[in-house]
Amino acid sequence: MIDKINAMYEKKETHRVSRTFWTLLVVALLLWSATTVGSVNVTKNGLEIASNIIRGIFTPSTELLFNWSEQSVGYLLLETMAIAFLGTLVGAVFSFPLSFLASSKVVPFPVVIVTRLVVILIRTIPAFVYGLMFIRVTGPGPFAGLMTLSVTSIGMLTKLFSETIDDIDTSIIEALDAMGCNTFAKIRHGILPQLWSSLLSTLIFRFDMNLRDATTLGLVGAGGIGAPLIFAMSSYRWSEVGALLLGLIVLILIVEFSSSYIRKKLAHG
């Protein structure tokens, strides 16, 4: 009995020392990080600019909102949504076969290692860098944004798809293997039926992310609403900024609620 009490006391003491160590480490990191933050300086007309921004956001330009020219909010949002959708679709087409090559339950381990290294390399490069590279190749415009989102989607989708494949029930695959089925038959009858809802949910989530990324990529000239937004801000046309932001907020909210509803339906049937 005394031995048990001593063991419990030693375990509690070890946990206390561990918690103290990690707490001190986090505090030390916070203090060190604070030293890298410089002082915040407000320009002379900073408050005036801030008030103009707020006024412009709450009084958006109706001319941009309610027409269908190529510079209108509706057209730019439609272009942004098309870039995000096609980028997700193209990325999924390439990610689907790569995800099987990245799963140890489907292919030999050396193939898995090579495929995962390629995916890691793809995911290492930020979307902005891809955007700048594709703009140099294809020129500025929606196609550069489409290519950028396709490549960045490949990295994430392949990783998530392969993890989903790794979590499937292997008993079905073993039964098909015992029946003498080849790899394609095992994928068709043993893996795909278990994956559809999870894969579709992942695709919807990635589309949601790509919609936001498409807006950001527009800042470097890769199509969408980002470029007109930065141009309007640079020239202090705050009512146009308000119109563009209002349309973007509405679109993001619609996509957010729609994607959440669809994912819940896929998860719970």
Angle between helices 142-166 and 73-101 (to 10 degrees): 40
Query: Which residue, 148, 161, 143, 142, is CA-closest to 92?
Result: 161
Q: Which pLDDT score is estimated for 90?
A: 92
Name the DSSP class of 66. T
Distances (CA, A) of 43 to 179, 231, 244, 261: 75, 21, 26, 45
Least confident of 102-111, 142-151, 166-175, 202-211: 166-175
Q: What is the dihedral of CA 147, 150, 153, 158, to 10 degrees?
A: -130
174 has pLDDT over 80:
no
Q: How many CB atoms lie within 10 A of CB 54?
A: 12
Quick one: average pLDDT of 137-151? 84
Quick one: average pLDDT of 103-120? 86
CA angle at 250 for the pair 221 and 257, rounded to the nearest 5°: 110
Q: Which two tokens stand for residue 203?
A: 């695709």
- Provide the pLDDT confidence category of residue 89 given band limits of 50, 70 and 90: very high
- Mean of per-residue pLDDT scores for the chain: 80
CA distance 69 to 228: 13
Cβ neighbours of residue 199 under 8 Å, at least 6 residues apart? 161, 164
Q: Which pLDDT score is estimated for 1?
A: 59
CA distance 135 to 130: 8
Specify the pTM: 0.74
Q: Which pLDDT score is estimated for 205?
A: 86
Q: Which pLDDT score is estimated for 31?
A: 84
CA distance 153 to 212: 13
CA distance 229 to 71: 11
213 has pLDDT over 80:
yes
Structural contact between residues 75 and 257, judged by C-beta atoms closer than 8 angstroms:
no
Quick one: average pLDDT of 98-119? 86
What superfamily in CATH does domain 70-268 come from?
MetI-like (1.10.3720.10)
Ordered by start, the domain boundaries in the chain are: 70-268
Q: Which pLDDT score is estimated for 46?
A: 67
The residue behind tokens 């489409």 is 146
